[in-house]
């Protein structure tokens, strides 16, 4: 009986020739990432609860500050100090002010075939490079950091065969939000979402990143794209080589198989409070939803592609006087690229507020949170009740082009509806 | 952990996410004890004031979806509920709850038969008795029960391989 990509990665990490869904295995982790959302809690447990602890392999651990950067109050500043000091003391690489954790991991670390724990739910992102990334809490992270190992229950895999190409003006974000709308917010709970097919292979690594990143919003343990030469090229461009390509065997067993014709996907605008609250942008536009704020950024949708899309809409236009438009590039590298391409000038002249690379409004901290009854249209990862500010506020999820056009119009719409 | 216990029920819906269990803005508070008064704030701000030791939360599907913030199960534990019963759980929350010694029970039938304020009886790994009906529940795998019985992963590490500090 064959194995899926995810099963092969777990088998390698567990030193087994084969594994089956439902098995529990002890695995050796290839990398571990923790951000400033919870690292201070991990450090407290390390210092106060363990007897003679050590970090099993500091070279496999990365700390990244992105959730509250720069610190917005003295408590956060103290948590950051704790994280900096621990990193220095234990020889752990620390990033501060350089971007959202998952974008930095993609740019600097992830290799195909690796098994990676991140103390953040969107660790599923790394499947864009054919790796198995999964989110854990700080206690699991502590155990992994101290022992170098952890346990995993081998999940079933759901296969998504992607066919054809997305139409112009339709983006990978629309595709993954459509899939989540179809299967539901727990449609892949504890499962792997595996993407393959000619439509997947035609996608750039950036596009695949958008897909894998949001798989956790369907409950997935990991999202993995079948790797190909684009993975090798991406890693080489970012100064690294290595890793292993795993693809599913022809006789691998899947919990379900879905086929998607990419040419049928429409621009999406998810309604508030649940990520599977699917609607087309056309439906929402017909409801004339007036907005107070638009956000372009996040580990899902803050890369150069989205900034280019936003700039193309905003160039020569002005943000509506009753709307705030916030833009947070996902990393320093993205920010610099946007500077070199002249994109920043287009955004700033239109009236956008440029934020430093961080998680920003997407997780309702740092700056830009919204007030009672306000409406946000966002390229962020979630639209839960109160996620980006007051409990009564409402968050719609859409692609970058929609967010930019809505910021100009003052209500949610596509770029074709602008004068 | 008691094998059989009785508790008063609070009923919640489907897709109770971690931002509802503890909103981002309260995560900066110094401790879980400080945070717990804001548990479920966007949905039911009165809940932490009503919950008494031994009460039981009953929810629908996909409980704990969203972020990996471990404060979510920690707060529920700090409110001293004896267990959560839900139709299903999001996987990161499930791991985090076990790692913090919070008992989770999966059952998607009981929701139809209990209402807030009802008293129900749980026998761990066997059954729930509610409204004159009996709902069988599966036993957790031994590895996970070991962690739960110890009161969480760190305490289980202490027992298993002596790397945790004695308390």
CB A33 within 8 A of CB A120: yes
Facing B65 at nearest CB: one of A75, A219, A363: A219
**Residue position matching structure tokens 């930095």:** A104
Asked if the Cβ–Cβ distance from B143 to A140 is below 8 Å, we say no
CB B89 within 8 A of CB B81: no
Task: For an interface test with B, give the residue of A48, A75, A121 to mutate (most B CBs within 10 A).
Answer: A121
Facing A143 at nearest CB: one of B73, B90, B157: B157
* Residues 84 through 123 of chain B touching chain A, CB cutoff 8 Å: 88-92, 95-96, 99-100
Q: Can A5-263 and A269-413 be said to share one CATH topology? A: yes
pLDDT at A325: 98
Residues paired with B7 in a beta bridge: B120
pLDDT at A61: 98
CA atoms within 13 A on the CB side of A301: 30
pLDDT at A12: 98
Look at residue B148 and give its three-state secondary structure. Answer: helix
Q: Cβ contacts of residue A139 below 8 Å, gap of 6+?
A: A45, B70, B96, B99, B100, B152, B153, B154
pLDDT at A169: 97
For residue B81, pLDDT over 90 is answered with yes
Distances (CA, A) of A330 to A61, A136, A223, A305, A381: 21, 22, 20, 11, 13
Task: For an interface test with A, give the residue of B25, B64, B67 to mutate (most A CBs within 10 A).
Answer: B67
pTM: 0.94
The CATH fold of domain A5-263? Aconitase; domain 3 (3.30.499)
How many whole angstroms separate alpha carbon B31 and alpha carbon A399? Answer: 37
Q: Which two tokens stand for residue A76?
A: 């956060």
Task: For an interface test with B, give the residue of A186, A188, A217, A359 to mutate (most B CBs within 10 A).
Answer: A186
For residue B164, pLDDT over 60 is answered with no
Domains of chain B are 4-138 (3.20.19.10)
How many whole angstroms separate alpha carbon A173 and alpha carbon A379? Answer: 9
Asked if the Cβ–Cβ distance from A137 to B68 is below 8 Å, we say yes
Contacts with A218 from chain B: Cβ below 8 Å: none
CB B10 within 8 A of CB B116: yes
Facing B62 at nearest CB: one of A142, A189, A216: A189
How many whole angstroms separate alpha carbon A135 and alpha carbon A216? Answer: 9
pLDDT at B161: 61
Facing B41 at nearest CB: one of A186, A365, A391: A391
Mean pLDDT of B65-90: 96
Asked if the Cβ–Cβ distance from B143 to A50 is below 8 Å, we say no
Mean pLDDT of B35-43: 96
Task: For an interface test with B, give the residue of A34, A68, A123, A139 to mutate (most B CBs within 10 A).
Answer: A139
Q: Cβ contacts of residue B121 below 8 Å, gap of 6+?
A: B4, B5, B6, B128, B129, B130
CA A342 to chain centre: 26
CA A311 to chain centre: 22
Contacts with A45 from chain B: Cβ below 8 Å: 154
Query: pLDDT, tens digit, for every residue of B111-156?
Result: 999 999 999 999 999 999 998 999 999 888 887 888 899 989 888 8
Asked if the Cβ–Cβ distance from A386 to B19 is below 8 Å, we say yes
pLDDT at B162: 53
CA B72 to chain centre: 9
A391 to chain B nearest CA, in Å? 5
Quote the CATH superfamily of domain A269-413. Aconitase, domain 3 (3.30.499.10)
How many whole angstroms separate alpha carbon A402 and alpha carbon B152? Answer: 45
How many whole angstroms separate alpha carbon A46 and alpha carbon A367? Answer: 31
Facing B67 at nearest CB: one of A121, A151, A385: A121
Contacts with A143 from chain B: Cβ below 8 Å: 153, 157
Asked if the Cβ–Cβ distance from A385 to B20 is below 8 Å, we say yes
Q: What's the ipTM?
A: 0.88
Q: Which two tokens stand for residue A413?
A: 């719409």
Q: Which positions of chain A have pLDDT values less than 50?
A: none
Closest listed residue to residue A341, CA positions, set A300, A377, A313, A304: A304
For chain A, the first-to-last Cα distance in angstroms comes to 58
Contacts with B143 from chain A: Cβ below 8 Å: 24, 151
Contacts with B166 from chain A: Cβ below 8 Å: 51
Q: Cβ contacts of residue A66 below 8 Å, gap of 6+?
A: A35, A36, A95, A99, A100, A101, A104, A357, A358, A359
CB A256 within 8 A of CB A218: no
B112 to chain A nearest CA, in Å? 20
pLDDT at A294: 98
Task: For an interface test with A, give the residue of B39, B92, B142, B158 to mutate (most A CBs within 10 A).
Answer: B92
Asked if the Cβ–Cβ distance from B154 to A139 is below 8 Å, we say yes
pLDDT at B28: 82
CB A293 within 8 A of CB A368: yes
pLDDT at B167: 42
pLDDT at A345: 98
Residue ranges of domains in chain A? 5-263, 269-413
Mean pLDDT of B17-46: 93
Residue B9: phi and psi, rounded to 5, are -100, 140
Facing A363 at nearest CB: one of B20, B24, B100: B24
Closest listed residue to residue A270, CA positions, set A371, A162, A194, A182: A182
Three-state SS for chain A is: CECCHHHHHHHHHHCCCCCCCCCEEEEECCEEEEECCCHHHHHHHHHHHECCCCCCCHHHEEEEECCCCCCCCHHHHHHHHHHHHHHHHHCCEEEECCECHHHHHHHHCCCCCCEEEECCHHHHHHHHHCCEEEECCHHHHHHHHHHCEEEEECCCEEEEEEECCCCCCCCHHHHHHHHHHHHCCCCCCCCEEEEECHHHHCCCHHHHHHHHHHHHHHCCCEEEECCCHHHHHHHHHCCCCCCCCCCCCCCECCCEEEEEEHHHCCCEEECCCCCCCCCEHHHHHHCCCECCEEEEEHHHHCCHHHHHHHHHHHCCCCCCCCCEEEEECCEHHHHHHHHHCCHHHHHHHHCCEECCCCCHHHHCCCCCCECCCCEEEECCCCCCCCCCECCCCEEEEECHHHHHHHHHHCECCCHHHCC
């Amino acid at each position: 009986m064959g194995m899926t990509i995810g099963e092969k990665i777990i088998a390698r990490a567990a030193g087994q020739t084969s594994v089956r869904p439902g098995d529990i295995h002890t695995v050796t982790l290839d990398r571990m990432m923790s951000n400033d959302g919870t690292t201070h809690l991990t450090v407290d447990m390390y210092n106060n609860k363990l007897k003679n602890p050590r970090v099993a392999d500091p070279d496999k651990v990365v700390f990244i500050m992105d959730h509250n950067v720069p610190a917005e109050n003295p408590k956060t500043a103290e948590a950051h100090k704790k994280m900096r000091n621990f990193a220095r003391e234990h020889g752990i690489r620390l990033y501060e002010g350089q971007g959202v954790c998952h974008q930095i991991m993609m740019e600097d670390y992830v290799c195909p075939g690796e098994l990676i724990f991140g103390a953040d739910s969107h660790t599923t992102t790394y499947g864009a490079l054919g790796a198995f990334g999964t989110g854990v809490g700080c206690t699991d992270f502590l155990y992994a950091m101290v022992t170098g190992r952890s346990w995993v229950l081998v999940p079933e895999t759901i296969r998504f065969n992607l066919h054809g190409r997305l139409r112009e003006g339709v983006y990978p974000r629309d595709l993954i939000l459509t899939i989540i709308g179809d299967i539901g917010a727990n449609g892949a709970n504890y499962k792997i979402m595996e993407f393959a097919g000619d439509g997947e292979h035609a996608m750039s690594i950036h596009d695949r990143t958008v897909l894998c990143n949001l798989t956790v919003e369907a409950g997935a343990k990991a999202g993995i794209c079948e790797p190909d030469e684009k993975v090798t090229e991406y890693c080489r461009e970012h100064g690294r080589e290595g890793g292993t390509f795993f693809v599913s065997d022809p006789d691998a067993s899947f919990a379900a198989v879905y086929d998607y014709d990419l040419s049928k996907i429409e621009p999406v605008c998810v309604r508030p409070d649940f990520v599977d609250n699917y609607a087309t942008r056309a439906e929402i536009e017909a409801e004339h939803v007036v907005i107070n704020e638009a956000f372009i950024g996040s580990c899902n949708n803050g890369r150069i592609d989205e900034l280019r899309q936003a700039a193309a809409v905003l160039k020569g236009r002005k943000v509506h006087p009753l709307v705030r438009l916030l833009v947070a590039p996902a990393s320093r590298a993205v920010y610099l690229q946007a500077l070199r391409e002249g994109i920043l000038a287009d955004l700033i002249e239109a009236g956008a507020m440029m934020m430093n690379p961080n998680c920003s409004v997407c997780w309702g901290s740092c700056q830009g949170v919204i007030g009672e009854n306000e409406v946000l249209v966002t390229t962020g990862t979630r639209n839960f009740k109160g996620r980006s500010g007051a409990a009564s506020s409402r968050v719609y999820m859409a692609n970058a082009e929609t967010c930019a056009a809505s910021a100009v119009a003052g209500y949610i719409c596509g770029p074709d509806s602008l004068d | 952990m008691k094998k059989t216990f009785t508790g008063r029920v609070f009923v919640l819906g489907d897709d109770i996410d971690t931002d509802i269990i503890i909103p981002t803005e309260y995560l900066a508070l110094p401790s879980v004890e400080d945070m717990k008064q804001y548990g479920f704030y966007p949905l039911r701000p009165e809940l932490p004031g009503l919950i008494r030791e031994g009460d039981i939360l009953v929810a629908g599907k996909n409980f704990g979806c969203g972020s990996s913030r471990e404060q979510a199960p920690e707060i529920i534990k700090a409110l001293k509920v004896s267990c959560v019963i839900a139709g299903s759980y999001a996987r990161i929350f499930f791991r985090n709850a076990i790692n913090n010694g919070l008992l989770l029970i999966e059952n998607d039938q009981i929701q139809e038969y209990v209402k807030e304020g009802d008293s129900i009886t749980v026998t761990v790994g066997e059954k729930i008795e509610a409204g004159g009906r009996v709902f069988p529940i599966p036993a957790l795998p031994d590895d996970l029960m070991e962690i739960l019985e110890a009161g969480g992963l760190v305490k289980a590490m202490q027992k298993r391989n002596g790397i945790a500090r004695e308390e």
